[in-house]
């Protein structure tokens, strides 16, 4: 009971921040939609539909606004999808909001995301949370747009945002910019970088160049590679041949960074991206120690993990927080959502922003979630926060 009270208190605190008060933590047939009554969530199956209690001045008795959660419940990404769906269920339970009804749709079932969104819209849902993958966002967006239903996707693909689509995923753009800003504040002036071939690498390089330029620095060397050990090591050696570099970006996963790090030990401090946040024991490779990266704060997520484990007897995926926070957002805006009417999409771009498990965030006119990130430094035993995330948006 203490854990339950703590989690409800955490949800209440998130709801009270920024837009939460006035002053103000991958991928249908009929059988592919899972649901269960809200009263049974304490013993709910892995994916549930919840109807739970709360106050809503606009709600009419017996009328609930429908929220569709589109995630993969089958196929290769089923575990991630179920984790996100469970987290969405938890958020509705923790806030005790009865004006909303959540239904989960499987984007990996027969017919894919198009069938999932078609059924979700046919069943009267006025807000779509998900899907997970950028290509599925592209597939469902035209259907949602024709129905004038906003989409808050879990993708980090910035190219799919805009025109009624909002993305909540953690993007390399913001992580790299935050790390470069921090490094420059600490005196870094000369930078170098390693990035994989492909879309992620290209976008990382673009923001890296812009961020360094904005801070008055210069990029002495950039190397790209295919994701093979020999290619990574060779690219790292080429970067290491450049003298007097203050900071080296490795725009890739922690496992790739661990391959490159030994060759870069004498080439300046290392800098990673938000991809490193999901890896434990980053300091097991000596060359990684002292490296920095920027990510959403973990303090509230750690509490969320404990509550999730207690309810579902398993650990959540890191991305599950997107499901939780997207429902917190819907709960907050339920006060402006007329029963049976359209979701108040105009409220999504309020400058005050929203709060949740992953800290504060707000959507720009481009549909991309701007987040307050903390900067962490890798240590032998884990990481330490060297620059905390902001708790408010100042502009």
- Say what the pLDDT of residue 62 is: 60
**For strand 165-167 and strand 151-153, is the pairing parallel, antiparallel, or unpaired?**
parallel
Q: Name the residue among 108, 177, 189, 213 with its Cα closest to residue 368.
A: 177
Q: Name the residue among 369, 360, 352 with its Cα closest to residue 300.
A: 360
CA angle (294 as vertex; 292, 298 as ends), nearest 5:
110
**For strand 190-196 and strand 218-225, is the pairing parallel, antiparallel, or unpaired?**
parallel
**For strand 292-295 and strand 374-379, is the pairing parallel, antiparallel, or unpaired?**
antiparallel
What is the mean pLDDT of each successive set of 10 residues along the chain, which is 395 residues long?
46 41 28 33 31 38 86 96 97 94 96 97 97 97 98 96 97 96 98 96 96 98 97 97 96 97 90 94 94 96 95 95 97 94 95 94 96 97 95 84
- Say what the pLDDT of residue 63 is: 79
Count CA within 13 A, CB hemisphere, residue 311: 28
What domains does the chain contain, in order, with CATH numbers? 2-169+299-364 (3.40.50.2300), 172-295+374-387 (3.40.50.2300)
End-to-end CA distance of the chain: 40
Q: Name the residue among 159, 165, 172 with its Cα closest to residue 140.
A: 165
In this structure, which long-range contacts are made by residues 1-9, counting pairs with CB atoms below 8 Å and at least 24 apart in sequence? 3/306, 3/307, 3/310, 4/307, 6/303, 6/307, 7/90, 7/94, 7/303, 7/304, 7/307, 8/94, 8/95, 8/96
The beta-strand segments (E) located in 272-341 are 292-295
Q: For 325, which DSSP code?
A: H
Beta bridge partners, 104, equal: 34, 69
- Say what the pLDDT of residue 243 is: 93
Has this prediction a pTM greater than 0.85? no
Rounded CA-CA distance 146/157 in Å is: 22
């Amino acid at each position: 009971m203490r854990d339950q009270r703590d989690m409800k208190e955490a949800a209440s605190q998130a709801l009270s921040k920024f837009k939460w008060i006035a002053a103000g933590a991958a991928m249908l047939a009929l059988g592919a939609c899972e649901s269960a009554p809200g009263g049974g969530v304490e013993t709910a199956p892995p994916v549930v539909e919840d109807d739970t209690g709360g106050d809503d001045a606009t709600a009419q008795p017996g009328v609930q606004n429908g929220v569709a959660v589109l995630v993969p419940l089958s196929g290769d990404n089923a575990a991630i999808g179920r984790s996100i769906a469970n987290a969405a269920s938890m958020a509705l339970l923790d806030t005790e909001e009865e004006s909303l009804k959540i239904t989960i749709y499987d984007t990996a079932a027969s017919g894919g995301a198009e069938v999932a969104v078609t059924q979700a819209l046919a069943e009267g849902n006025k807000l779509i949370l998900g899907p997970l993958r950028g290509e599925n966002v592209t597939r469902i967006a035209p259907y949602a747009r024709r129905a004038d239903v906003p989409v808050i996707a879990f993708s980090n693909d910035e190219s799919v945002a805009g025109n009624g689509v909002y993305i909540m995923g953690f993007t390399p753009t913001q992580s790299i910019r935050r790390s470069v800003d921090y490094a420059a504040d600490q005196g870094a002036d000369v930078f170098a970088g390693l990035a994989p071939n492909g879309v992620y690498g290209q976008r990382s390089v673009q923001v890296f160049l812009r961020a360094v330029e904005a801070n008055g620095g210069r990029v002495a060397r950039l190397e790209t590679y295919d994701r093979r050990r020999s290619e990574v090591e060779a690219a790292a050696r080429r970067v290491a041949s450049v003298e007097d570099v203050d900071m080296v970006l490795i725009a890739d996963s922690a496992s790739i960074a661990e391959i490159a790090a030994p060759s870069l030990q004498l080439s300046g401090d290392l800098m990673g991206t938000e991809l490193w946040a999901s890896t434990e024991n980053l300091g097991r490779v000596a060359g990684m120690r002292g490296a920095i990266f920027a990510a959403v704060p973990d303090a509230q997520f750690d509490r969320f993990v404990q509550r999730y484990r207690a309810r579902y007897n398993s650990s959540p995926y890191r991305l599950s927080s997107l499901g939780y926070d997207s429902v917190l957002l819907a709960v907050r805006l339920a006060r402006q959502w007329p029963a049976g009417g359209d979701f108040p999409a105009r409220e999504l771009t309020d400058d005050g922003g929203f709060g949740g498990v992953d800290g504060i965030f707000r959507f720009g006119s481009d549909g991309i979630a701007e987040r307050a990130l903390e900067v962490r430094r890798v240590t032998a035993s884990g990481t330490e926060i060297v620059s905390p995330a902001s708790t408010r948006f100042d502009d």
